[in-house]
Structure 1
Amino acid sequence: MFAVIVLVYLAIIQGGGILTKHLSGEDDFRSTRALFYGMIIPLGAALIFTYAVITYLGWLRPVLRDDRPTRSWVRVVPILLLVAVAGGISYTALAEKGWLFVVVLLIATQFVGWGEEGMFRGIGVVMLRDHGLAEGRVALWSSLVFGAVHLANGITHGASAIFQAVVVSLAGYFFYLTRRVTRGNIANSVIHGLFDFSLLTGTAILVDQEFYPGTIFPILVYPLLAITLLVRRHSIEPAQRHA
């Protein structure tokens, strides 16, 4: 049933995105009109679908609150993600676009964050726990499923979607730990949206500049967090839970 829900979620985003792009007549996200049709409408519909499913299942509380704490040092994960966001935003490019574009892009990326975190760190994590999986397996499978669904981007991005799926799986683990260390699904949803906002400002909306140096911040945070978590992987769970 979870697979069916995810497929419907993907169909709303991919199908809706293709349809609304035709309606807007634009192939990129460099205008407010393109953002509204290509992102706000399909992502908003997917977000509504996600929380409608959560409400129907009666899972609103376990989705929004997490009762599996971690050790306090794990706060480094959301902190470094926020540092990467702040460093990766192309402030000059945003200033040139105007306030309306910035607001619409910010809303659209928050739709991404809340929708994907609600689906994969929300429904996915609660479902895996209900099936009795150990927390390590919950982290693994929720992250792998999160990465695998991004293979659907191959429809529009070709073979590059494979690399994206691998990177997104790793990001899924970071957002999973953010959920646990903040004891809920709110901080990871907001940070997820801000992270995508940062990436888009440094890549998709720049017209005259091929490479924005600030993009290196969100890129470097992946190996930095991966190495940190690999070294300290045995001290993530509280002492009694680990034992």
Structure 2
Amino acid sequence: MTLTALVALGIYLAWQAINTGIQVAGTGPDGIDLIDLVQHGLAPSLAAACLFLLAVVLVFRWGREVGLARPPQPGTLRVIWPWLLFLALFAANALAAGLPPAAITLFILANTALVGWSEEVMFRGIWLRGLFRSFGIWPAILGSSLIFGAMHVLNVFLTGDLPAAVAQAIAAFLSGTFLAALRLRTGSLWTGIVLHGFWDAGTFLVAYAAPPEAAPESLGAYGSVLFSLPLFLLGLYFLRHAGRDYGREYV
């Protein structure tokens, strides 16, 4: 099957139904904090969404299409260094505040690894490739990032906190553009999978030790937007020649 925008949409709707449907089914009337989803064992919704995408990639043999068939290429460090700086900041804050008990830390790491794999395959893999084939490189970059951001508004059905969900959506669009740059510049989806997982792990580990009113699931309502803005600008810089470099194809 050829991976086009329409095919990507169908896969996305099924993936979203699996992911959000299972989460909402387990949510009480008062909602939950997102950190509750990742600290009490492997989240069924995340595992099911990962298995669904793994089946899609294997059945249609899209490993190369979505960037899973190649390791990061030489020069990767020149692109990922801004993300690494933020990861170092998260690590320092988490260590200073005190890590959760070992079991909770492991569950957070495991669940955020699932998130990193699932969301990168869906957005920087399937959506980016499908939109590129149908509309070209810049619609693919911005379109996949917009859809990635809009998806986070659905968190309101879990938390009941619309302003926080909107802030998460804006931050996701900004960081999603940088992650698209990683996918294109490094030639591999694995770069974004690993960095995405560690980013989410860092935010949850910091949030775990913070007072609920001070740092909910994303380091404050608009803190994540401020963190993501420089990544967005750097992502645009890294992609400044995208029309020339990826006008017809990308690996």
Work out whether the TM-score is over 0.5. yes
Where do 1:11-50 residues align within 5 Å?
11-20=17-26, 27-28=32-33, 34-36=39-41, 40-50=43-53
Q: Which residue of 2 aligns with 1:206?
A: 210
Q: What is the CA distance between 1:237 and its match in structure 2? A: 6.3
Q: CA RMSD in A?
A: 3.6
Which of 223, 232, 242 is the matching residue for 1:226?
Answer: 232
Structure 1, unaligned stretches of length 5 or more? none
Partner Cα separation in structure 2 for residue 162 and residue 175 of structure 1 = 20
Instruction: Check whether the contact 1:122–1:185 (CA below 8 A) recurs between aligned residues.
Output: yes
Instruction: Check whether the contact 1:199–1:218 (CA below 8 A) recurs between aligned residues.
Output: no
Deviations 1:145-182 (A, max 9, x none): 11122221121244222232222111111111111222
Q: Normalized against structure 2, the TM-score is what?
A: 0.76
Instruction: Check whether the contact 1:117–1:189 (CA below 8 A) recurs between aligned residues.
Output: yes
Q: Percent identity?
A: 25
1:196 corresponds to 2:228: no
Which of 101, 107, 110 is the matching residue for 2:104?
Answer: 101
Which of 118, 122, 142 is the matching residue for 1:119?
Answer: 122
Which residue identity does 1:109 align to in structure 2? T
Q: Normalized against structure 1, the TM-score is what?
A: 0.78
Q: Which residue of 1 aligns with 2:157?
A: 155
Partner Cα separation in structure 1 for residue 24 and residue 200 of structure 2 = 20
Kindly tell me: are residues 219 and 75 of structure 1, through their superposed partners in 2, closer, same or farther at Cα, counting changes over 3 Å? farther
Q: Which structure shows the bigger proportion of residues in helix conformation?
A: 1
Kindly tell me: are residues 180 and 57 of structure 1, through their superposed partners in 2, closer, same or farther at Cα, counting changes over 3 Å? same
Q: What is the CA distance between 1:57 and its match in structure 2? A: 2.1
Which residue identity does 2:228 align to in structure 1? Y
Q: Which residue of 1 aligns with 2:83?
A: 81
Partner Cα separation in structure 1 for residue 247 and residue 34 of structure 2 = 46
Structure 2, unaligned stretches of length 5 or more? 1-6
Kindly tell me: are residues 141 and 219 of structure 1, through their superposed partners in 2, closer, same or farther at Cα, counting changes over 3 Å? closer
Partner Cα separation in structure 1 for residue 167 and residue 225 of structure 2 = 13
1:172 corresponds to 2:193: no
Q: Which residue of 1 aligns with 2:4?
A: none
Q: What is the CA distance between 1:3 and its match in structure 2? A: 2.5
